[in-house]
């Protein structure tokens, strides 16, 4: 498994998840509920993360994220 995306806003992360899965790329979300640990951990460590189930999907996922980044003026970072 490879982490492909993280964002402080769960809605954005789940939108990216839906876009990748619509292209047949299986994903899993980690740290979905870790925001309660803020204070004990760095805020960046508590952001939800999107992970690919299959490493071989990484080039396609990066391509999709790159296109999203281009369309949305750099808001999505792979």
CA–CA separation, 72 vs 53, rounded Å? 26
Residues facing 28 on adjacent strands: 51
**Per-residue pLDDT tens over the stretch 26-72:** 999 987 665 554 555 555 566 889 999 999 999 999 999 988 877 66
SS3 state of residue 45 = helix
Is the separation of the CB atoms in 27 and 52 below 8 Å? yes
pLDDT computed for residue 37 by the predictor: 47
Average confidence (pLDDT) over 20-27: 96
CA–CA separation, 60 vs 66, rounded Å? 10
pLDDT computed for residue 8 by the predictor: 84
In terms of pLDDT, which residue wins out, 4 or 68? 4
Domain ranges of the chain: 2-71
Q: Say yes or no to pLDDT of 75 above 80.
A: no
């Amino acid at each position: 498994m490879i982490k492909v995306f993280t964002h402080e806003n769960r809605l954005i992360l789940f939108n990216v998840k839906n876009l990748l899965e619509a292209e047949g790329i299986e994903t899993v979300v980690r740290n979905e509920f870790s925001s309660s640990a803020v204070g004990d951990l760095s805020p960046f460590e508590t952001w939800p993360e999107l992970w690919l189930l299959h490493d071989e999907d990484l080039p396609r996922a990066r391509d999709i994220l790159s296109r999203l980044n281009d369309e949305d003026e750099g808001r999505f970072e792979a």
